[in-house]
Structure 1
């Protein structure tokens, strides 16, 4: 009897990433994702004030660049005259002339 060869199907790169159970539950019960998934929440007013909630620590701090560590990557803020106006265990307020905001993984 001839043997049949199994053909493995490759996953397409265009497939959507799997959604976690926590993410599904937050959507189902309409809970805020920043609380349930412990992801950062950014609130920006114009280009002068930026509030970051749920951060882990400060990696780099200079008057033209600030890098903040979070659970899902690094937030890089560039501009001029940057400073940390307020910092607590839950949130961080950056002020100055913000010209660029990047998310690095």
Structure 2
């Protein structure tokens, strides 16, 4: 039961804190619907230079265009096994750090929907 609670807490954290936000500010208090979050993720793919990500290790927002220059891209994922594991799966498939991060985010959003 505790494991399921921790997993659910991590997904809630991802849903509200980590999903990239199109625009110049990282608004971690903003509560959106899943469709709005998906739309923002699509915007990120089109206009990545204006997006920001929340870095869980430094606890600050970083412009997406700078995220790939951070020491570890995985710092932009919560430290739970699912988030980090999915990131490693995509990296193992030969994807770049940024692409693996985008796919891990999309996976987390899809998981939240179901």
Q: Which has the higher contact order (CA 8 A, sep 6+)?
A: 2
Relative to total residues, which structure has the larger helix share, 1 or 2?
2
Relative to total residues, which structure has the larger strand share, 1 or 2?
1
Rg larger in structure: 1
Coarse TM-score class (shorter-chain normalised): under 0.3
Structure 2 length normalisation: TM-score?
A: 0.26
Structure 1 length normalisation: TM-score?
A: 0.28
